[in-house]
Amino acid sequence: MVWLETIKTAPVGQGVKMPLKLSRMGVKYSHPDAAVRNKLCENYTKNTDSLTVVSEIVATHFQTIMQASGLWK
């Protein structure tokens, strides 16, 4: 993946943004057609279960990045 060379981050602020980026890019790679993503977005943004799953995925990415960066203590 050209857009991501490492999951190690120096500043904590960057480490907080990266899990969101990883999640967005996962969706983009799963559904490369923007029109399809936008149509699907209409469904899941109103579904509390879907939003909970998104939060869990971002939290998992956050843990991974913090561990790789040596910031998880």
Q: Using CA atoms, how far apart are residues 66 and 11, in angstroms rounded to an integer?
A: 11
- Please give the angle made by the CA atoms of 50, 3 and 15, to the nearest 5 degrees: 65
Query: Mind listing the pLDDT tens digit for each residue in 44-65?
Result: 778 888 878 888 888 888 888 8
Query: Mind listing the pLDDT tens digit for each residue in 12-22?
Result: 677 777 788 88
What confidence score (pLDDT) does residue 33 get?
92
Q: Count Cα neighbours of 29 within 13 Å in the Cβ-side half-sphere.
A: 9
Q: Check: CB of residue 61 under 8 Å from CB of residue 19.
A: yes
Q: Using CA atoms, how far apart are residues 64 and 15, in angstroms rounded to an integer?
A: 10
